[in-house]
Amino acid sequence: MEQFDYVVVGGGTAGSVLANRLSEDPDVTVLVLEAGGSHVPANVDAAPLWFTLLGSPIDWGYQTVPQPGLNGRTVYEPRGKLLGGSSNLYIMMHVRGHSSDFDNWAYQGAAGWSYADLMPYFSKLEAQEDLTDPRIGTSGPQTVTNAGGPDANPMSRVFIDACKELGHPEVPDFNGPQMMGAGWHHLDVRDGERRGALKSFLEPALGRPNLTVRPDAQAAGLVFEGTRCVGVRYRQQSPAATVGDGRELPGVDRAEPGDRDVRAAREVIVCMGAIESPKLLLLSGLGAADQLRQFDIPVVADLPGVGENFHNHVLTGLIAETADPVRPGRQNLSESALFTVSQPGMVAPDLQLAFVHVPFDIIVGQNHPNAVSILPGVVRPNSRGTIRLASADPFAHPLIDPNYLGDRSDLDRLVRAFKLSREIFATSAFKEHLKGELMPGPGVRTDAEIREFVRNRADCYHHQAGSCRMGIDDLAVVDPQLRVHGVQGVRVVDASVMPAVPSGNCHTAIVAIAERAADLIKEARDV
């Protein structure tokens, strides 16, 4: 049987970071197993074309179970299926989150995960080009640019001016001391090219002789000897036929197709994301005993929190037709935003209004290509859902239930954000630029009509989190060192460990989690 010091299960955002950082030591061997392939479609690298990747062969294309809060609709949940994972699909906003997001993690038992604790890791990962704040990083692997530079779309500036007209301050950097207000996003983009975890972390490490990266290798279960995880069972598949332009990643490894086991001399690190990581734990006998027995899965550790606390940001959208053609996007199509609160007196934002200088609805866009959108969203949701096994088949999708708008407060706040979006479109700053609202249109005016529109049109924010929560209580899945409770030799490192998703786009926080996890793993090795 093959053996490596570390087996990283999942080559997405967190897995890419760990592959790089753990293999920095030439004396350790690292294997990365990734269910997706190694062919990178050309549209991955082109920042303005991210939307063409949704529903493509590099997207798992998950669907939720019917959501009562959304009038029984199912919701499409995109996740990346390719080396680099969902960092190939995300919209490239570089948002750390509010300091209180991480302080709350620490308050709830995740010692060592406060904002002050994570600050060195945010700085370590960043190579920000503009010096907006002394706390930013300038020499890390992750290129960070200001969307307000020469490639900025003029309509994005109009949105900021409209927010200022309503009394919201303009802030120079959402990652600085003042997050609340309107401003330009910082982006993981350089010269119109995506700079996600694939380019920033994984590709620079692919030539290292102690790093083996194995695509088309889907994990089926963790291998235990007693309560110690000693390896991974996986299925090696033949690479899928490539479609369209793109590039093949060099330096990857392929085993012969078939079901295989690999042994980890030190640790297995699960980095499959908030949907697949709890599924793998459950398949491996880590979870609520009564659930496991339903599928005749032997119980290794009775962990009732596995798959609980699953949640996501939730948004809806408004579209307005413009008086003149909108200049095509050169960056990520969403360059400016407003972070604000749903009620006075809150110390951190719970609403994010993203401005998009295209029509976000495909059907509306076909008939009205010259249009812009505001996407109001709740970024501190109270609703919590679950990830459950659909069967004992390791290759079947799990049952995904984010429970969108299940808590009344989320619906109330999303309605408030919708109304604020209308106020922004009604400002004098937008007056000369807009012809009228296309969606939802003048037929939606009363509170009851708005609430019904929101239920019918609310959607996934692509920020799935929380299903293997870290902490010290009975429902925590991993401890503050990200080690799975009740067993040895296995950690979880991805968005599933977040007790609560940060109040903003979460890619940067996932990278920071993986950066700190790499140090925790190295410290454990040296003990």
187-222 pLDDT, tens digit each? 999 999 999 999 999 999 999 999 999 999 999 999
CA distance 498 to 513: 9
> Counting every residue, how long is the chain?
527
CATH topology assigned to domain 148-184+314-378+406-457: Cholesterol Oxidase; domain 2 (3.30.410)
Interval 243-302: pLDDT, tens: 778 999 999 998 899 999 999 999 999 999 999 999 999 999 999 999 999 999 999 999
Across 445-516, the runs of DSSP E, i.e. the strands, are: 459-460, 490-492
Domain 2-146+187-311+463-526 CATH assignment equals 3.50.50.60 = yes
Grouping H, G, I as helix, E, B as strand and the rest as coil, residue 394 is coil
Look over the chain and give the mean of its residue pLDDT values, rounded to a whole number. Answer: 97
Domain with CATH 3.30.410.40 in the chain: 148-184+314-378+406-457
pLDDT at 405 over 80: yes
**Virtual torsion, Cα 478, 483, 484, 487, nearest 10 deg:** -150
Residue limits of CATH 3.50.50.60 in the chain: 2-146+187-311+463-526
Q: Which of 395, 35, 22, 14 is nearest to 196 (CA)?
A: 14
Options 462, 463, 485, 507, the catalytic residue: 463
At 7-35, the pLDDT tens digits run: 999 999 999 999 999 999 999 999 999 99
Alpha helical stretches, state H, 261-344: 273-283, 289-294
Q: What whole-number percentage of the chain has pLDDT above 70?
A: 100
E-strand ranges in 406-474 read: 434-439, 459-460
Q: How confident is the model at residue 527 (pLDDT cuts 50, 70, 90)?
A: low
Q: What's the rounded Cα separation, in Å, for the pair 448 and 446?
A: 5
The rounded distance, in Å, linking the Cα atoms of 93 and 113 is 22
pLDDT average, residue stretch 39-51: 96
Per-residue confidence (pLDDT) for residue 155, from 0 to 100: 98
Give the Cα separation of 516 and 512 in Å (integer): 6
Establish whether 462 is a catalytic residue: no
